Amino acid sequence: MPSNPAPAEAPAQPDLTPDATGPLRSVLYMPASNARAMEKARTLDCDAVALDLEDAVAPGMKEEARAALVREAQAGGFGHRRLIGRINALSTPWGANDIAALAAAPLDALLAPKVDTAQDIAALSAAMDAAGYASTVALWVMIETPRAVLALERIAAMAADTRLAGFVLGLNDLAKDTGIAQLPGRAAFLPVLVQALLAARANGLILLDGVCNAIDDPARLEGECAQARELGMEGKTLIHPSQIAVANRVFAPDETELAEAQAIVAAFADPANAGKGALRVNGKMAELLHRDMAVKLIKQAEAIGAR
């Protein structure tokens, strides 16, 4: 007699269709004023490319960079890489024109910096609607001000009524505005990372980690990627091509994880275990929630493989 009956609503066959949105392990920023970087990005193994108009572009180059971003995006050639455009804040002289101009660029998401409040999300989303963005273009926002961190839940909840679909951490700006030191291990940032993750997950948003400034320190990058993955983030924003391989590896399921996941799915699919809600698989308890997590991990690996 089964000792742990399965909940009545548990699906008999898990859906193993690959995730259509694809992975976001490595999101490489580059200044939209840097033609060479944008050309090179079309050949790099990153999951997404973030063309920046904000902090990587000097004030005197903003208009030129904006035109270049639209031109490069329209020229295409980015293949599987998702295309993100980071605008200047609406409070700057360039923000409104950035939103208007980038409506002509075939982007997957518009990334807005320095948001503070839920009202900022409403204003950005309304501005995208007014500018005529396709309904498929998502709004992602940087979480990089003390006010945004304090309002994380209210900001994330705007996903229900706006284009908001993602958070990207901006720990350089947060360090600047708070005095929190950017040290290996990021211990002082942990409460922020966890709060951002909880707010994102509670509202169906993706969460991408902030950049690692230490281009020549792959061990530090690896540590930050491992920490972010442990915290459940989808991937990491990057600033240099040399950082892509590490992020792609760390944010992908490894062979051991995949084998464990496949064993759990197989165990629950075994007719001998029909009606059971908890099993012993390779010496560990596996419940239906672990089966669901295993299915998700397998889908993730398939989506990466499909790339």
- Is position 55 an interface residue for ligand LIB3CWND (rule: CB under 6 A)? yes
Shortest reach from residue 2's CB to ligand LIB3CWND, in Å: 52
Which residues, numbered 240-269, are part of the site for ligand LIB3CWND (CB under 6 A)? 240-241
Among 24, 27, 37, 265, binds ligand LIB3CWND (CB under 6 A): 37
Among 3, 15, 20, 36, binds ligand LIB3CWND (CB under 6 A): 36
Shortest reach from residue 236's CB to ligand LIB3CWND, in Å: 11
**Termini Cα distance of the chain:** 45
Is-contact 25 305, C-beta < 8 A?
A: no
- Is position 173 an interface residue for ligand LIB3CWND (rule: CB under 6 A)? yes
Separation of alpha carbons 14 and 267, rounded Å: 12
Beta strands in 91-136 (DSSP E): 109-112
Separation of alpha carbons 234 and 169, rounded Å: 12
Pick 23 or 170: Cβ nearer Mg ion? 170
Pick 84 or 265: Cβ nearer Mg ion? 84
Among 27, 48, 56, 69, binds ligand LIB3CWND (CB under 6 A): 56
Residues 6+ positions from 52 with CB-CB distance below 8 Å? 29, 30, 31, 32, 86
Dihedral of alpha carbons 104, 110, 111, 112, sign: positive
Which residues, numbered 127-146, are part of the site for ligand LIB3CWND (CB under 6 A)? 142, 144
Taking CB within 5 to 8 Å according to partner kind, which of ligand LIB3CWND, Mg ion, none is near residue 211? ligand LIB3CWND
Q: What amino acid is encoded at 206 in this protein?
A: I
Q: What amino acid is encoded at 136 in this protein?
A: T
Total residues in contact with Mg ion, by rule CB under 5 A:
3
- Is position 173 an interface residue for Mg ion (rule: CB under 5 A)? yes
- Is position 260 an interface residue for Mg ion (rule: CB under 5 A)? no
Q: How many helices and strands in the chain, by DSSP H and E?
A: 12, 10
- Is position 170 an interface residue for Mg ion (rule: CB under 5 A)? yes
Least Cα distance to 203 among 245, 247, 151 occurs for 151
Type and span of the H or E element at 51: strand 48-52
SS3 of 294, please? helix
SS3 of 185, please? coil
Chain positions contacting ligand LIB3CWND, by CB under 6 A: 28-31, 36-37, 40-41, 52, 55-56, 142, 144, 170-173, 210-211, 239-241
Chain positions contacting Mg ion, by CB under 5 A: 144, 170, 173
